């Protein structure tokens, strides 16, 4: 059984305050799940639209706790050799050739399947880490079901079985965050193993606060206008609504253009910063009105 770790957080409020200290504005829902994940030793599955701060949550938790962030970026075709470990076949071959006259194959075999020839990937690296770790498994909905089953096995026991070396157990339980953009339905088994957190677009007031925090040079009036306009755009039937990161890009763009108050012309001329499909831009241009 993997060793327990000392509790990282004393309270939900401490999580919220700690995240705020690294410029991540979390509500009690987000802070509460992070607190419970630490106390229960469970992974957190974070779902929601792209660009609402799911990945940044894991990065910010790592920053506030002084932990090392280990990231596994998921993609279609990701397999065990890229996620967990593989053997350095070239180095093994050189070792075999160097000892081709050896009388003892078992000795060579034991040597080439030793630590020296093991290439660790993010999952194994997180399991073996002796220092505090936050493991981010990003966009888990992009992997195939077989790889999802591999993740489930590791996250259930926090241990890895390597046939040639035996079972490697975690010396500590890392904080694990899995993010999903809902491009496919994840298995019930994986969801059951995790605490669940849905991160949606922020309220208008919270988005204004985020803009003021992340773009400190901006005025309160301009931040208020930005939050209101973005909210009205998200209410349209769009192919892709603007993310929080795109809101921040728009705020920085307006600052660079020395815009103090957004008029209708300025909003329409800079819509391409918020929207990335021409059909969405045309729709927003037609509907947009600036208060």
Name the residue ranges covered by the structural domains of the chain. Answer: 12-83+123-198, 85-120, 204-287
pLDDT in tens, 59-84: 999 999 999 999 999 999 998 889 99
Angle subtended at Cα 168 by Cα 163 and Cα 170, rounded to the nearest 5 degrees: 155
Which CATH number, 3.50.50.60, 3.40.50.300, 1.10.3720.10, 3.30.200.20, labels domain 12-83+123-198? 3.40.50.300
Question: pTM higher than 0.75, yes or no?
Answer: yes
> How much is the average pLDDT of 248-271?
94
| Position 291 confidence tier, pLDDT thresholds 50, 70, 90 | very low
Alpha-helical (H) ranges within 201-243 are: 204-214, 220-234
pLDDT of residue 33: 97
What's the longest Cα–Cα distance across the chain? 85
1: pLDDT strictly greater than 50: no
Q: Please answer whether residues 75 and 152 qualify as being in contact, where contact means their C-beta atoms are separated by less than 8 angstroms.
A: no
Q: Which of 4-13, 54-63, 124-133, 235-244 has the lowest mean pLDDT?
A: 4-13
2: pLDDT strictly greater than 60: no
Q: Please answer whether residues 212 and 59 qualify as being in contact, where contact means their C-beta atoms are separated by less than 8 angstroms.
A: no
> How much is the average pLDDT of 152-173?
86
- Name the average pLDDT for the chain: 90
207: pLDDT strictly greater than 90: yes
182: pLDDT strictly greater than 90: no
4: pLDDT strictly greater than 60: no
122: pLDDT strictly greater than 80: yes
Q: Which two tokens stand for residue 10?
A: 């004393």
- DSSP bridge partners of 133: 68
CA–CA separation, 288 and 284 (whole Å): 5
180: pLDDT strictly greater than 70: yes
CA–CA separation, 34 and 44 (whole Å): 8
CA–CA separation, 122 and 83 (whole Å): 6
pLDDT in tens, 81-109: 899 989 888 887 887 777 776 666 566 66
pLDDT of residue 184: 87
């Amino acid at each position: 059984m993997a060793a327990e770790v000392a509790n990282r957080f004393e309270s939900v409020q401490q999580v919220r305050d700690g995240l705020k200290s690294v410029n991540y504005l979390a509500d009690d829902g987000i802070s509460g799940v992070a607190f419970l994940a630490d106390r229960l030793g469970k992974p957190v599955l974070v779902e929601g639209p792209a660009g609402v701060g799911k990945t940044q949550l894991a990065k910010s938790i790592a920053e506030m706790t002084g932990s090392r962030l280990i990231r596994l970026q998921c993609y279609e075709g990701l397999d065990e050799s890229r996620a967990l470990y593989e053997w350095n076949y070239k180095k093994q071959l050189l070792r075999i050739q160097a000892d081709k006259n050896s009388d003892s194959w078992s000795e060579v075999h034991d040597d080439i399947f030793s630590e020296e020839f093991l290439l660790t990937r993010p999952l194994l690296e997180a399991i073996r880490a002796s220092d505090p770790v936050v493991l981010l498994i990003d966009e888990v909905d992009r992997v195939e079901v077989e790889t999802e089953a591999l993740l489930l096995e590791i996250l259930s026991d926090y241990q890895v079985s390597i046939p040639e070396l035996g079972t490697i157990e975690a010396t500590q339980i890392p904080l694990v965050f899995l993010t999903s953009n809902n491009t496919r339905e994840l298995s019930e088994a994986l969801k059951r193993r995790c605490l669940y957190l849905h991160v949606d677009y922020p309220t208008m007031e919270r988005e204004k606060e985020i803009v003021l925090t992340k773009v400190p040079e901006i005025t309160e009036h301009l931040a208020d206008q930005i939050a209101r306009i973005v909210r009205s755009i998200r209410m349209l039937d769009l192919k892709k609504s603007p993310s929080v990161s795109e809101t921040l890009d728009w705020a920085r763009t307006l600052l660079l253009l020395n815009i103090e108050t957004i008029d209708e012309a300025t909003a329409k001329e800079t819509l391409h910063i918020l929207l990335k499909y021409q059909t969405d831009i045309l729709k927003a241009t037609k509907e947009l009105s600036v208060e």
